[in-house]
Structure 1
Amino acid sequence: MQKQIADRIIFLCDVLPDKFRQIPAADFQTWPQPTKWSQQEILGHLIDSAANNHQRFVRGQIEDTPTVFYQQDQWVNIQAYQQENKDILISLWESYNRHLAHVITQVANENLEKECRGKDGSTVTLAFLIEDYLRHLEHHLHQIIVY
């Protein structure tokens, strides 16, 4: 499972950065609705997701049921992704996901059933979190570009 997920993430990293760069900056920063993120903010959100899931994938193997969650809207607002350099965001997204693909392949099979706790107190396994990371990633990538 981990290898297939990591391979898919690497594929996305191989294909999408150039496609992101082809989107005109004005389009990349356009809000579809006043309360919806721009494509640039979605990409920033995916960086935040990578950072938080990085914590889950590592701490979930070390600690007993760590609690890792974040307030996604506040993270996007505080970091002002809308004003960030587009190329920096694209490079950071790509690099972080290439690293996460590596981390995912290093999760020992016996650790896949270890659990992390979410904001609501419920627990899920590392296996679920790894699979869900890719689902979440692709969901938001499709909001930016069809590939």
Structure 2
Amino acid sequence: MENVINRLNHWIHSLPKECTAMSETEISNRPSPNKWSKKEIVGHLCDSAINNIERFVKIQYEEQPYIIQSYNQEEWVAVQHYQERELDEIITLFQTLNHQIVHILIHIPAEKLSYLCDIGNNHQKTLEWLIQDYVEHMEHHINNQILIN
């Protein structure tokens, strides 16, 4: 977990600097009508954090395997109108949610990392896998969509 926590802390501190260094045009431009802007991608990362906070908490005490409920990512971004929000608000939300995730991860007993969850189609993974997947998902969006020109 130490590596995951370090990676999360890195992005909590560095993503705001990266995003605020971009012009409003760069952060708000949609590459095509059906693609998110970089600002909306940061919003999507907030939505991912919201959903994963619930998962990381509930897996620790609910019956195993905990069944992961999916969410409609496109609708979450659209309904919350991230494109019209101030970037600073979205960045603050990103930081706050991921600080909460770090807090949760620090306090997960080691034996609970092997607790099982059903990620769909009766595929079972551990809580540790889900946490790692969360960070990899975040880094995929940051490295491949936000930080590229």
Partner of residue 74, structure 2: 73
Distance in 2 of aligned mates of 1:103 and 1:96: 11
Question: 2:16 maps to what in 1?
Answer: 17
TM-score (norm 2): 0.91
What's the counterpart of residue 35 of structure 2? 36
Partner of 1:127: 128
The runs of 4+ residues in structure 1 deviating greater than 4 Å are none
Q: Look up the equivalent residue of 2:106 and give its one-letter code.
A: T
Conserved? CA contact 1:55–1:68, under 8 Å: no
Residue 91 of structure 1 pairs with residue 85 of structure 2: no
TM-score if structure 1 supplies the norm length? Answer: 0.92
The count of corresponding residues between Structure 1 and Structure 2 is 145
Do 1:59 and 1:66's aligned partners in 2 also have CA atoms closer than 8 Å? Answer: no
Distance 1:57 1:3 in 2: 16
- Tell me, in whole angstroms, the C-alpha distance in 1 between the residues paired with 2:137 and 2:130: 10
User: Once superposed, what is the RMSD of the aligned Cα atoms?
Assistant: 1.4
Structure 2 unmatched ranges of 5 or more: none
**Sequence identity (%):** 34
5+ residue gaps, structure 1, are none
Shift of 1:116: 2.2
CA contact (8 A) 1:56 1:66 kept: no
Q: Note closer, same or farther for the CA distance 1:120–1:75 as it changes in structure 2 (3 Å cut).
A: farther
Contact 1:116 1:124 in 2 (8 A): yes
State how far apart, in whole Å, the 2-side matches of 1:56 and 1:12 are: 21
Cα distance in 2, alignment partners of residues 19 and 48 from structure 1: 20
